[in-house]
Each structure stands twice: as structure tokens, then as C-alpha cells.
A and B are shown apart, each in its own frame.
Chain A
Amino acid sequence: MLNTLRMKFFHGKQYIPNVRKAAIDGRHRGLPILFQEKCTSSCSECAKCCPANAINREKLEIDLGKCIFCGDCERACKQQAIKFSAFYKLSTTDRDSLIVKGNMSEADYYKQAITAKEKSKALFGKSLKLRQVSSGGCNGCEFELNACSNPNFDMGRFGIDVVASPRHADGLLITGPLTENMAAALDDAYECIPAPKIIILAGACAISGGLFQNSDALNRSFLEKHPIDLYIPGCPVHPLTVINGILDFVGHK
């Protein structure tokens, strides 16, 4: 008993006091910034090296729904027109808002990213319980979603939790590229959640298929049948991207 208490004292407080403004290591690859004026060459090295086909060279755009944040384009660009910043508030409510355009700053991106609806604020503002389903996820996003509830990030302090049964949930949190073998179970899980319910896609795989977009073992028809409420990009998603995205979605200040 005494040993346990000593240990507790030794461990100290570990939580991040303010997850809305938490500092992150400068090497973290968050929002890519595209410097249009630097992109003078007619080469398309960035698009050629992108493993996830996330770069539209014509319009100079990066689709964060596909991007796996590997940083290959940043290194391939001789003009240094692409630079990954550490900015982590990347979640959006619209698929189109995930597209980063030329000269878009962090503030520009964040401003258009999330439109908090009054309805979701009223329904889920104080408590949001999610049922997580991994459908071909590589366990990277799953680990980061688990980390959201660890003592550092402690998502539970905002009333956001991942629950054991879809019957207790307000929404579905999907990771992975949606495999064919998992399609039936995913449908079942969604049906079991009482309405009103939301769907959150976490990670490049869930949003676009990511690296697995050309796989023949996927069945992504679930996404055509249901509206998506929140997109959380990343490969894997960073806990701060997840928590800030959900907080913005439910209108938390």
C-alpha cells in the first residue's frame, strides 16, 4: 500500500493541461504548407513520388484524406515548395475541406475545417460515446485512439469515451480501409447504434483507402450508404488531432 502511494507520488501528474494548445515536437508532420511562388519548375516530382496519389500537381493541392504524411514530397521538391508544419488540428467536417491548396496557412485551413452544427453541439456537447470498429486497420490508428484515453491525453475529461457496445454509443469511429471480410460486421455495428448517430472516419485508410486504395480485397460500399460527420486525417491519426477534431465538432471552446 505504502509502496503504491510512493509510486503514485513519484509518477506525479502526467496529463497535458491544455490539449487545445499543447506543444508538439517540431519534427511532427502535420499540415503541409504549399508555397505557390516557390513552385516555379514544371516538374512533377512531388506527385510522382507520392505513394497515396494525394497530390494534384495541376492545381498544386494535397488531399489530406489520402496523404500518409510520409514527407517524401517535401524531400523530392527541389524548390522547397512543400513544407510539413507541426500543426495538428487537421480534422474536418467536409471531405472537400481536407484538400490543402496553395499558400493556405494554418489559420486558413483551420478556419474552413469544421463547421460545428448547433444540433451536434446540443446532442453531444457534454457527452459523446463512440463505438470503434477497425476494418483492416493496421493497428497504428487503433493504438493512437487508445492513447487518447491514456493519462497524458485523457479524452474522458471532456465526456468523450469509446464504449464496449454499439448499444451504448452515439456514433461509429471507423479505422482501416474497410475490408470485404469485415463488411457485414460493420453494417451490423452501425445498425445496432440507436439514432441519432454519427460516423467518424479516422486515418487515411478509412477516408480514402490510403495506401490500400488499389486493393481488391476492400468493400467500401458502407461509406456510400451513410453520411460522414467527421474526417480525422493522419497515418496514423495523432491523439491531438483526434481530440481537437471531436471537440471542435461538438462545439467545445
Chain B
Amino acid sequence: MKNFLAVKNNQVSNINEIPLLDFSSLHEKIIEKCKKSKIRPICFFGLGKASSVRLFVALADDKNSEILVSSSILNRSTTYPSLTPKVPAFHIFERDFHEEFGIKFEGHPWLKPVSYRKNRFDSNSKIENYPFFEMTGEELHEVAVGPIHAGIIEPGHFRFVCSGETVYHLEIQLGYQHRNLEKLFLDNKKIAPHLAESIAGDTVIGHTLAYLNAVESLTGTEISRRAQIIRIIALELERIAMHLADLSAIANDIAYLMGSAVFGTTRTTVINTLLSICGNRFGRGLLRPGGVIFDVDETLIKKIKTNLAKVSVITDRMAGVMFTCSTVTSRLDKTGTVSKEDAIKIGAVGISARASGVNIDSRINHPFGAYAEMKLKNKYNKTGDVSARTHIRYVEIGQSINIINRLLPELEKDSCSESIFCEIKNNLNPESFVISIVEGWRGEIVHTMLTDEAGQIIKHKIKDPSFNNWYMLALAMRNNGISDFPLCNKSFNLSYCGNDL
């Protein structure tokens, strides 16, 4: 019998095709697989019954563009050996699973709740009474920051253990944003596309696209080429806008106000382009099951082209000035470094991983739609410091502008004039399983859906890239000055609500 079912991104398979192993052999097989490079966990969740839980695991095989799926039944009253000591990337997935079902993984160093979710197993563990990790020593002191921060950002608590200015350890406490989204998705199917837009308001297109790809796969809906292209243009516009926002914020955090102002206003140009397309600066209301609501006509194509040309010129010029300015480079270089080894170990994804030299990008490794034929080249840095994370944003802005400019001419062709929207009439495939991966601006977004015999969604698991990457921030802070924390935090710019859901 096969140990794993290999599927592609957005490929629907029957639940009964997923192998069901006993836990010890699943444990062994996962460790065996993950020893190979470029195989890493992307999905790990349970479907609970009264006495037992069926655990589903999905590993991404980036080299072969495949997703390996397997499962096992776990007894609620038993403890199981943890995968984390052998494959550290599982640490956050096992914490998440433990929070929901209370099943202990023996050997996991730290089964702390991930988001203090409403349906957590241990309702006595409260966000207020969590015992933080402690270090003792004469010279050590603790600094507590949050949940409310100095700027206009989402809430989260950071607990530093420091010796003087030097941070020995940073513990990140999240969950303040928890809205019980996964339950809302199941209870209110009618508003699911709207909810998808609100998973993380800075990744509207990314999350909605991942949700729609899953739903459209489950219903066997083919959307028109034109709609596909508009979706990818929107996704890339979102990437450009958010990277500009981050460049602006990083410049602001090192008091380089010129960069902050210029990148900030350039972002306005980009989000106002999205506003011209769909009536919302963040792209809300553009994507719906079956296509897109707003077409990109000739006037809009012209507008996108002119605006992007403007953005390209000003970004290049500003980046040229900023990255050669010694007061900037002295703050960015060698600050908050995460090594490639560490990034791979903890399963980092997206721009943060690429800045540390990990060569992953799901637009290339697990492409869908028009990405498949684009032959994109992976852009990555090696140094893993704030400078690398800043620079990669600038590089990706150029890459995204190129992608859009390659796609726009196709919208002008007659051959691409099909309808942009057709309502989905089919029901969801019963007893099916689909994993949808989209490279959002932060990194890989994974939506997994399971349906029952009646074709109703019984599980909708959402994984934001921040879920993997928050621990990277903790690693980046070690042995850095505590005053560099805001800068390090900005250089990752992770989502609080994407983690808390």
C-alpha cells in the first residue's frame, strides 16, 4: 500500500484515496520524506470525533511540484511521539493540533497554544494567565511589549529576556485577533467569499484567490482565461502595493523619512489603480466564485500601464538613493540575521525565507493558471538580514511589474474576450479533498477543504504564511539590540490575524 497520495496544487481527490496509516509508520515515513531537501509540511490538521481524531498531513515536494497527503487515526486518550525533534518545521503545526484536540506529542519542547481559539481543548488556559518562558541570572531582565503597540498595528504580545540591551530570547504571544474564522466559514457559507477577503485585510486577493481556487476545483468549474489573467494582475498589484508599504515602513523605522514618504505615496498610486479596477483600494469585491466581477477594459489597461511605468521609475530611483545611503545601510546590514539552515529547519516560507537564501516560491514550485506557462525565475538573497528582506521586496516589485506587463497585452486580444464571470451551478464534489496554494505577497497561502457525503464542506483549514514565519522573528532577535526590534518586526511584517484567524 502507498504511504502517500501525490496530488497537484488544486487537484481534487477522493477522501478514500488518502492512505490511512497507523501513527508509528506515518511518523517514520514523514521523517524519511522530510530528510530529502525541498520536502516540508504545509498542512497538518485533524477531523475530530468523540473518542478519536483523524489526522491529515500534507507535505509539499517543491522539486516535483507535488503535494504528498497521508493520514492516521489518533486516539484522544493516548500520547504520541512528536515529529518536531526530528523535523523542527512541525513545531507550530503540532502546537496548533494540540491546542484544538488536547492530544499530547511526547518530546515536543513547547506545546504552547497558538491562538487561544474559542474551541481550544483546554479552556482553562487563558491568554492572560500564560506562564512565559523564564531565564534567571543576575544580569537578566524582562521587557514586556503589547498587546497594544505604539503605532497603528494589530495586537500581539512580545516578551523579551535581555541582558542589558542584548536580547537573549523573544517569546511571541498571539491570539488577540482570534475571531473563530474557520467556524464562521462553515456556519455562514453564503458569505464565505466575503469572509475570505477579511482573513487578512492586507492580503485580500491572496487569500480570496486561494479560497476560490479550492471551491472552483471542488465544483469542477473552469473559469475563463480572461478572468484568470485579471486575478493574477490583481494578485501582483497587491504584491507591489504591500512591498512598497513595507519599504516605506522600514524606511520610517530607521528615521529615513525621504524613503518613507516616497514609497508611501508610490503605494497610493498602486492601490488607487486597484480602486479604479474594482472600486476598493484593497481589491475587495473583485473576486467571486466563477470569475471576477469587474473587467479591465482598454482605458484601464492604459491606466495600469502608465501607473506602473511611473511606479517603476520612481521606485528604481528611490531605491538607488536609499540603498547607497550609508546611514541606511549601516542600520539594515547584519541586523536580525536568520541563517539559511535555521530558515529551512523551521519551515520558513515566502519573502522572509527567500531573503535567507531558501529557494522557494509557490508561483514557481506549485503554479496554477497563467503562472504555469510563465517560467518565472526565483529571486532570492543570501544574507538573511533586514537588508536582504528589504532588498528582496524591491526586486520583487520589478518582477511583479514585469509579470503584469506580460499579461496585459493578452487582455487586448480578441481571442481573450470571453465572459469574465459565470455563476457556479455545480455542487461541491462529495467526499473530496483539495489543497490550494497561492503565493501571496508574504508567502505561501494554503487553503485545504474536505467535503462529506452530502457535498458539504466539513473542514476548511487556512494557513497564512505568517503561521510558519513568526518563529523566524524570534530567531532573528537573538543577540540583537532590543532597540532593533521594531525594525526586525517590520522587515518580516507578519500577519497577526492571519495567524490567529
Binding site for B on A (CB under 8 A): 3-4, 7-8, 10-11, 14, 25, 27-29, 51-52, 68-72, 75, 84, 131-147, 150-152, 162, 164-165, 176-177, 179-182, 184-185, 189, 211-212, 214-218, 235-236, 238
Contacts and interface: CB of A to CB of B under 8 A. Distances in A.
Given A11-B314, A27-B275, A4 B195 contact: no
Given A181-B175, A181-B178, A139 B276 contact: no
Interface string B179-194: 1110110011011001
A185 B155 contact: yes
Given A71-B285, A176-B177, A137 B268 contact: no
B73 interface: no
Interface of B: 116-118, 127-128, 147-148, 150-155, 175-181, 183-184, 187-188, 190-191, 194-195, 198-202, 204, 245, 248, 258, 261-262, 264-265, 268, 272, 275-282, 284-285, 293-294, 314, 317-318, 320-321, 324-325, 495-497, 500
A185 to B, nearest CB: 5
A223 B187 CA distance: 26
A121 B314 CA distance: 41
A191 to B, nearest CB: 12
Given A177-B179, A181-B175, 18 more contacts: A7-B318, A7-B321, A27-B277, A27-B294, A29-B285, A138-B198, A138-B201, A138-B202, A139-B497, A151-B265, A179-B179, A180-B118, A181-B176, A181-B178, A211-B191, A211-B198, A212-B179, A215-B181
B interface, over-half SS: loop
Given A25-B275, A139-B202, A164-B150, A3 B262 contact: no
Given A10-B317, A69-B280, A236 B201 contact: yes
A214 B176 contact: no
Contact of A152 (B147, B151, B268, B282): B268
B258 A8 contact: yes
Contacts of A142: 152-154, 201
A236 B258 CA distance: 27
Contacts of A70: 194, 284-285
A242 to B, nearest CB: 11
Contacts of B148: 131, 133, 185, 189
Contacts of B265: 11, 14, 150-152
B448 to A, nearest CB: 21
B390 to A, nearest CB: 17
Given A138-B201, A145-B152, A29 B279 contact: yes
Contact of A211 (B194, B281, B282): B194
Contacts of A216: 118, 180, 183
A29 to B, nearest CB: 5
A218 B279 contact: no
Contacts of B284: 68-70, 140, 235
Q: Looking at B118, B153, B201, which has the most chain A CB atoms within 10 Å of its CB? A: B201
A75 B421 CA distance: 13
Nearest to A150: B264
Contact of B201 (A140, A162, A238): A140
Contacts of A71: 279, 285, 293
Contact of A3 (B181, B204, B321): B321
A202 to B, nearest CB: 10
Contacts of B497: 136-139
5 contacts: A27-B294, A133-B155, A140-B284, A141-B201, A145-B152
Nearest to B199: A138
A1 to B, nearest CB: 9
B155 A182 contact: yes
A234 B473 CA distance: 32
A4 B177 contact: no
**Which 3 pairs from chain A and chain B are nearest by CB?**
A140-B201, A138-B201, A164-B150
Contact of A140 (B175, B184, B187, B204): B204
Contacts of B280: 28-29, 69
Given A3-B321, A27-B275, A181-B175, A139 B128 contact: no
B231 to A, nearest CB: 17
A215 B118 CA distance: 10
Contacts of B190: 51
A181 B127 contact: yes
A3 B272 CA distance: 28
A237 to B, nearest CB: 11
Given A8-B258, A177-B179, A140 B321 contact: no
